Amino acid sequence: MRAVLLAAGYGTRLKRDLQNDTSGQFSHLVGTPKPLLPIGGLPLISHWIKAFDQVPEITSVVVVTNDLHKPLDTLLPNDFSLKTLVSKFEALYDLEKEACLVLSAPVSEENVSKHGIIKVEESNRVSQFMEKPQPQDTTSRLQCPCVYLMSSESLHHLQNFLEENRNAPLSCRDATGMFIGSLIHQAPVFAHHVTHRYDVGGLQSYLQCCQDFQTL
């Protein structure tokens, strides 16, 4: 199994927050790639690498970056078990070779429009994906963090998606969730629920993440 860390965003929200902060307390973070932001005594990316090290099925790690910044802005609380996630995926794979597994996490009313939102059936199969909908447009309060497990048999759907959207407007292909929105109509996609997701995209969310990891 290969783990792919998507770290090719530009971190514009955090950059703006740091530049607008007048306290000077966080000025040393300006220009720091988000994977290297210190959280609980370790760079953000190190928390993921440590989790990967505990799962023998993961044999290699690929980090996708760009030529300017290297943001990776998702962490999960310590009650999240990557081993459990992989075991659940393997069980699904035994039943359906194209099965995929994504995460779902609760999202507050005021943050619905900031995230990709999924609807999940009783079987935990994902039935709908909406990219940053308004709260009144959906009854779901489940966000879909960018943590996806895909079988090799389902990867051709990703290639097809990229080819089909090669000339589409950036808004139709920029968010990774757009692919999930397409995938749920072509392969069985299931959700694994987690209690919380840290979106380290702005200064306040970064500080909250630091506080929680410091006390764990």
Task: Write out the two tokens for 9.
Answer: 């965003």
Domain ranges of the chain: 1-78+198-216, 81-194
Q: What is the pLDDT of residues 120-159, one digit of tens each?
A: 998 999 999 999 999 999 999 999 988 899 999 998 998 8
- Report CA-CA distances (Å) from 27 to 34, 92, 107, 133, 205: 14, 46, 30, 34, 16
CATH fold for the domain made of 81-194: Spore Coat Polysaccharide Biosynthesis Protein SpsA; Chain A (3.90.550)
How far apart CA 76 and CA 67 sit, in angstroms, is: 27
Tokens 């740091």 found at: 18
For residue 73, the model assigns a pLDDT of 66
The pTM is what? Answer: 0.71
Q: Which of 71, 199, 216, 210 is nearest to 144 (CA)?
A: 199
